């Protein structure tokens, strides 16, 4: 302890003191780079380097409620008020993917990757390599609508590879994005893009493992504050406010109604036990979903292009029907053209139409539009739709093989029957694509032949030489006039319609042979359109991928509840916002054998502020607990008293604004003066407390859950003293959030007067790099 005569050296070197345009409400450091992501009060996302150089700013257009980084720092997840989770590229902020996993505001995000490295050769046979690149070129991109510049649509630019890197999970360690909303729902996504589970804490059956008689409880009026997945993916700690009640009415004393802050521990060990299987399924399924988007966009683009081309054709040639009626003739345009083709004299309406209404330039223009659209459709099919369908078929074949490995994949819900059905649907789509291409080629050829014949007719009517024109086939002209002039065989393929399409005999015979050899169950699909077939294929995929989602969701159970402190009953339906920090540190005492069985690989630390309006006897204190997720790991209840906690009393004249767990055994506190006249005036301080030096007390777990566990520590509160801790005074009143980077050893504090102060926490650390 320093004496009054010894001048104190200020800890935490101030690196920057910069103004910010708007008050910051969320801030997170990148785990791998010197980058700080901040969310302003008006929900703009700012990305700054450590030297405060701004890289980009994006505005999602909706209120941002949470934010977190992907473990490798290459993408950032943003939770929105409407329940959407958007993923953005760290390089430019570009939107990579949106997931609508929730229906209300996403209040907490946590993205964790598998922190265990298994060295046992016996499990290496479960590693998986994506073999698609061996047999196929790179997957096709979403086609762009013709006539639009890049960025005018939601389609990707050809030069943008960010989404491919996000989706390519072959080079990623297995990771899970966990999200919680204010209504108590928690969603899990593998690699942040493939939903794999969803639970609601209101539906959880909460056990009371320390009770003399087995009993269960449930939460009501609960709202999530924070979710934190352990680094071994085996446990999920959920901080929430709500009311705990017995699951069933057992006795009068069982009517609890304990409203306050609670800590739940969920068993998510299925992620660790089946991470290799989940990795394989997620990789195939997420890539299939990307390719489905390519097919959907391709069909949309083709439908729009062909519809526009046919509109141009009808608009020009419908005037011939009006001319025939005006001249008092009782014939159709097709009959007039057939008479002209047979050598009859040109009728007045046809002559007027060819010379005045249409003309040579009009034929060329309509021919360019229709035939050009046909060629564009062929390019879309060959460059986007067909390659996507082929790769989907290959990937479904891979999943089909995995589904037959029942000992490994049945446990995660990969149903062989559903996968077989989806695989058949993918094969059917390929047949439909090939049939569509034949129909399209035939139609385009006949349109081109018809337009060439019309040009020749116009030349003859105008007494001009026609030997420079392309030759035309009169038989094709007859077929066109009878079957294509007032009909559109291409349009039904691109629309969802109930109209049956009559299959040609050649295709029907070939498919019957495939049915005979077991390729397809029947030939009925030949009467469906291409768009309808795509819809059925997509539906079969959703059904097949829903089984793992449902299976994993059922296997995530609540194992324990820790009632922390009481809250006023008036806030029963209001989400309580208090500073909370949850992290996991590597347990140095872990043995190799226990590490491989995912027991005691990490120690959990949970820190939180007990609000001043709490009805508890320990208001205005800071609580720290550890080893909550290990309190049931031992073989007997008597040996499981490993839950420890300590209460810290904030120095007089201060109140806690925010807190964050730092490096192992350390907690950073941000304190404001309580005596300041306004929120913007006064001073504050930041301190680091060495948690390992605190007198943690083992908390005996009671069999009755209507006991606030931390109330047991009210007589052993540790008083923090500014003169005994590492403290840095800040000449501003500060506001949450406190952004701390353990990997970089820095902290960013935001003053109430719209300033950002960056401090270096490690005094012995060399200069932090400004660039990345």
Radius of gyration over every alpha carbon of the chain, rounded to an integer in angstroms: 34
- DSSP 8-state symbol, 247: S
Instruction: Pick the closest to residue 188 from 112, 290, 286 (CA basis).
Output: 112
The residue assigned the tokens 């109430």 is 752
- DSSP 8-state symbol, 225: E
The residue assigned the tokens 């939460």 is 219
With H, G, I as helix, E, B as strand and everything else as coil, classify residue 306: helix
Rounded Cα distance, 587 and 315, in Å: 76
When pLDDT is cut at 50, 70 and 90, the band that residue 111 belongs to is very high
Give me the torsion for CA of 502, 503, 508, 514, rounded to 10°. Answer: -110
Tens of pLDDT, residues 554-589? 999 999 888 888 887 655 444 567 899 999 888 765
Which range has highest mean pLDDT (183-197, 338-352, 505-519, 641-655)? Answer: 183-197
| 74 contacts 90 by C-beta, under 8 angstroms | yes
Classify strands 557-566 and 580-586 as parallel, antiparallel or unpaired: unpaired
Give the pLDDT confidence score for residue 209 in this predicted structure.
62
Give the predicted TM-score (pTM) of the model. 0.84
| 529 contacts 492 by C-beta, under 8 angstroms | yes
pLDDT of 485 above 50? yes
| 329 contacts 349 by C-beta, under 8 angstroms | yes
Average pLDDT, the chain: 83
The residue assigned the tokens 């009371």 is 208
Instruction: Pick the closest to residue 413 from 286, 285, 234, 278 (CA basis).
Output: 278
When pLDDT is cut at 50, 70 and 90, the band that residue 769 belongs to is very low
Give the pLDDT confidence score for residue 102 in this predicted structure.
95
Which range has highest mean pLDDT (147-161, 332-346, 356-370, 465-479)? Answer: 356-370
Tens of pLDDT, residues 683-711? 899 999 988 888 988 887 765 555 677 77
Phi, psi of 467 (to 5 degrees): -75, -10
Return the structure tokens found at 68.
């977190």
Instruction: Pick the closest to residue 111 from 46, 188, 44 (CA basis).
Output: 188
Crossing angle between the packed helical segments 416-461 and 530-554, to the nearest 10 degrees: 160
pLDDT of 592 above 80? no
Rounded Cα distance, 30 and 57, in Å: 16
Classify strands 644-649 and 718-719 as parallel, antiparallel or unpaired: parallel
CB proximity list for 756: less than 8 A, separation 6 or greater:
16, 17, 18, 19, 20, 24, 52, 748, 749, 750
Average pLDDT over residues 466-493: 82
Give the pLDDT confidence score for residue 711 in this predicted structure.
73
Rounded Cα distance, 377 and 380, in Å: 5
Give the pLDDT confidence score for residue 86 in this predicted structure.
95
Tens of pLDDT, residues 219-277? 888 999 999 999 889 999 999 998 888 766 444 444 456 788 899 999 999 999 999 99
CB neighbourhood size of 692 (10 A): 10
SS (H, E, C) 62-99: CCEEEEEECCCCCEEEEEECCCCEEEEECCCCCEEEEE
CB neighbourhood size of 759 (10 A): 21
CB proximity list for 552: less than 8 A, separation 6 or greater:
188, 196, 197, 270, 278, 412, 413
Tens of pLDDT, residues 625-639? 988 877 655 444 444
Q: Could you give the percent of the chain with pLDDT greater than 90?
A: 45
Half-sphere exposure of 648 (CA within 13 A, CB side): 27
Rounded Cα distance, 544 and 289, in Å: 12
CB neighbourhood size of 760 (10 A): 18
Tens of pLDDT, residues 709-742? 777 787 788 888 888 778 999 988 999 999 999 8
pLDDT of 292 above 70? yes
| 700 contacts 687 by C-beta, under 8 angstroms | no
| 747 contacts 740 by C-beta, under 8 angstroms | yes
Instruction: Pick the closest to residue 519 from 437, 419, 428, 422 (CA basis).
Output: 428
| 572 contacts 221 by C-beta, under 8 angstroms | yes
Give the pLDDT confidence score for residue 161 in this predicted structure.
52
CA distances from 361 to 355, 358, 368 (A): 10, 7, 10
pLDDT of 93 above 80? yes
Rounded Cα distance, 223 and 239, in Å: 9
Q: Which residue has the higher pLDDT, 616 or 530?
A: 530
With H, G, I as helix, E, B as strand and everything else as coil, classify residue 671: strand
pLDDT of 157 above 60? no
Instruction: Pick the closest to residue 422 from 498, 518, 534, 513 (CA basis).
Output: 534
């Amino acid at each position: 302890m320093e004496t009054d005569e010894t001048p104190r050296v200020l800890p935490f070197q101030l690196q920057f003191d910069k103004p910010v345009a708007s008050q910051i409400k969320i801030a997170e450091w990148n785990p791998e780079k010197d980058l700080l992501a901040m969310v302003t009060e008006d929900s703009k996302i700012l990305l700054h380097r450590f030297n405060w150089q701004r890289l980009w700013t994006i505005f999602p257009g909706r209120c941002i409620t949470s934010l977190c980084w992907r473990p490798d720092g290459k993408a950032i997840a943003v939770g929105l008020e409407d329940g959407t989770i958007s993923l953005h590229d760290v390089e430019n902020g570009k939107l990579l993917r949106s997931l609508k996993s929730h229906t209300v505001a996403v209040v907490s995000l946590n993205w964790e990757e598998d922190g265990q490295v298994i060295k046992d050769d016996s499990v290496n046979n479960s590693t998986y390599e994506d073999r698609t690149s061996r047999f196929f070129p790179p997957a096709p991109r979403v086609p762009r609508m013709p006539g639009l510049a890049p960025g005018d649509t939601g389609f990707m630019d050809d030069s943008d590879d960010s989404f491919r890197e996000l989706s390519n999970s072959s080079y990623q360690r297995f990771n899970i994005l966990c999200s919680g909303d204010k209504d108590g729902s928690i969603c899990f996504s593998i690699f942040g893009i493939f939903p794999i589970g969803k639970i609601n804490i209101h539906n959880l059956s909460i056990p009371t493992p320390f009770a003399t008689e087995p009993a269960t409880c449930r939460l009501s009026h609960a709202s999530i504050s924070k979710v934190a997945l352990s680094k071994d993916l085996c446990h999920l700690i959920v901080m929430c406010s709500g009311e705990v009640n017995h699951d069933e009415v057992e006795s009068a004393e069982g009517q609890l109604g304990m409203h306050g802050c609670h800590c739940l521990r969920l068993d998510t060990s299925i992620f660790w036990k089946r991470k290799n299987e989940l990795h394989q399924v997620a990789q195939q399924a997420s890539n299939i979903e990307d390719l489905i988007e390519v097919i959907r966009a391709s069909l949309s683009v083709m439908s729009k292009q062909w519809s526009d081309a046919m509109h141009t054709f009808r608009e020009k040639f419908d005037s011939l029907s009006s001319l025939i009626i005006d001249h008092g003739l009782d014939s159709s345009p097709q009959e007039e053209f057939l008479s002209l083709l047979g050598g009859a004299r040109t009728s007045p309406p046809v002559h007027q139409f060819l010379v005045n209404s249409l003309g040579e330039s009009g034929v060329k223009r309509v021919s360019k539009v229709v035939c050009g659209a046909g060629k564009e459709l062929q390019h879309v099919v060959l460059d986007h739709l067909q390659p996507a369908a082929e790769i989907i078929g290959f990937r479904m074949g891979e999943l089909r093989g995995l589904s037959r490995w029942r000992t490994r994949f049945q446990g995660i819900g990969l149903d062989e029957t559903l996968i077989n059905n989806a695989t058949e649907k993918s094969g059917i789509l390929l047949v439909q694509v090939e049939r569509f291409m034949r129909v399209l080629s035939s139609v385009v050829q006949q349109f081109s032949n018809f337009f060439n014949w019309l040009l020749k007719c116009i030349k003859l009517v105008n007494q001009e030489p026609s030997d420079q024109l392309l030759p035309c086939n009169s038989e094709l002209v007859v077929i066109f006039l009878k079957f294509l002039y007032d009909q559109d065989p291409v349009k039904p393929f691109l629309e969802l319609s109930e109209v049956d399409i009559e299959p040609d005999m050649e295709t029907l015979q070939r498919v019957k042979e495939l049915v005979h050899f077991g390729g397809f169950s029947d030939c009925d699909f030949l009467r469906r359109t291409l768009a309808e077939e795509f819809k059925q294929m997509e539906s079969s995929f959703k059904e097949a991928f829903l089984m793992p989602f449902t299976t994993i969701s059922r296997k995530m159970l609540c194992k324990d509840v820790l009632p922390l402190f009481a809250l006023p009953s008036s806030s029963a339906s209001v989400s309580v916002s208090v500073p909370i920090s949850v992290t996991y540190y590597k347990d140095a005492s872990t043995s190799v054998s226990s590490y491989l069985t995912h027991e005691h690989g990490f120690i959990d630390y949970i820190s939180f502020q007990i609000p001043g309006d709490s009805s508890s006897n320990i208001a205005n204190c800071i609580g720290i607990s550890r080893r909550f997720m290990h309190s049931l790991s031992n073989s007997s209840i008597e040996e499981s008293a490993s839950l420890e906690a300590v209460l810290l009393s904030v120095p007089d004249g201060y109140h806690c604004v925010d807190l964050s767990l730092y490096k192992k055994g350390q907690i950073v506190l941000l304190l404001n003066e309580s005596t300041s006249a306004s929120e913007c005036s006064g001073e504050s301080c930041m301190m680091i407390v060495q948690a390992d030096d605190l007198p943690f007390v083992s908390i005996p777990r009671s069999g009755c859950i209507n006991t606030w566990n931390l109330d047991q520590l009210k007589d052993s509160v540790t008083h923090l003293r500014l003169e005994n801790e590492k403290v840095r005074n800040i000449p501003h009143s500060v506001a949450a959030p406190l952004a701390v980077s353990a990997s970089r050893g820095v902290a960013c504090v935001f003053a109430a007067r719209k300033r950002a102060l960056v401090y270096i926490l490690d005094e012995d650390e060399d200069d932090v790099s400004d660039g990345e």
